[in-house]
Amino acid sequence: MTVEVWPSSEALATAIAERIADRLAHVQRTGRRPSVVLTGGTVAAAAYEQLQAGDVDWTDVDFFWGDERFVPEGHADRNDQQARDSFLSRLGVPDDRVHAMPAHGCDLSMAEAADSYAAVLPDEPFDLVLLGMGPDGHVASLFPGHPQLRETSRRVVEVFDSPKPPPQRISLTFPALNHAHSVWLLVSGAGKAEAVGRAHGDGTVDDTPAVGARGLTETVWLLDEAAASEITA
């Protein structure tokens, strides 16, 4: 696990955008189509806004999501809509490369929606999983003390009681999130410093779920100075 810190959230967002583009271009140079799990959140959105065409063939990248609010398609609260608005549409990513989670009104129960999304996930590891983290230490929609933290068989689960509204969500579990070559945690702001400190100290998966996020090859925390302020040596 490595930690890298930037002086401001703006500098962090710029670095994240550059790293995403560099990683996707690298994977494409090996002759493979990259697979990426996107996250929502303020710093992620700021990074997505800065993504440019560059050396990446954006028509040849598969995009998935770590979690989603179970609200209607096109709703401003949906992470996929945030990504469409910030870069997917702008960079011409075709619909068949955008693997959005089912939306409310899809005629599936939440459990059925979760299982249907699990069926579209690749068998091979993701190239990159991006995760934000909440002030309580949650990642995706895996919240402190919730039973989904201990799921070992299902790759995607329904969440009915998110402490952060809206309460109904669909989330990848750790078996899916950690089936990735690289997991990057993107965190900014003083309001998350305590949880970051716990994650790098004596925190547990149950009280600080971000502790459970681990890539197969690398796990990288990308932070601004405010978020990193309570990490002790």
Neighbours of 177 (CB within 10 A): 24
Residue 109: partners with Cβ closer than 8 Å, 6 or more residues away: none
Q: Which residues pair with 130 in a beta bridge?
A: 184
Report in angstroms the alpha-carbon separations of 219 from 10, 88, 128, 211: 22, 25, 10, 11
| C-alpha R_g of the chain | 16
Q: What is the pLDDT of residue 52?
A: 95
CA dihedral 37, 41, 45, 46 (to 10 degrees): -130
Q: What share of the chain is helix, strand, coil (3-state, %, to 5)?
A: 35, 20, 45
Report in angstroms the alpha-carbon separations of 82 from 2, 18, 45, 69: 28, 19, 7, 12
CB 209 within 8 A of CB 118: no
Q: What is the pLDDT of residue 233?
A: 64
In terms of Cα–Cα distance, which of 220, 205, 208 is closest to 129? 220
126-131/169-172 β-pairing = unpaired
pTM for the model stands at 0.97
Q: What is the pLDDT along the chain (233 residues), one digit of tens a residue?
A: 999 999 999 999 999 999 999 999 999 999 999 999 999 999 999 999 999 999 999 999 999 999 999 988 888 889 999 999 999 999 999 999 999 999 887 788 999 999 999 999 999 999 999 999 999 999 999 999 999 999 999 999 999 999 989 999 999 999 999 999 999 999 999 999 999 999 999 999 999 999 999 999 999 999 999 999 999 86
In terms of Cα–Cα distance, which of 184, 61, 179 is closest to 124? 179
Q: What is the pLDDT of residue 107?
A: 80
Would you identify the CATH topology of the domain 2-224? Rossmann fold (3.40.50)
The amino acid that residue 20 corresponds to is: I
CB 114 within 8 A of CB 125: no
- What is d(CA 34, CA 95) in angstroms, rounded to the nearest whole number? 16
* Residue boundaries of the structural domains of the chain: 2-224
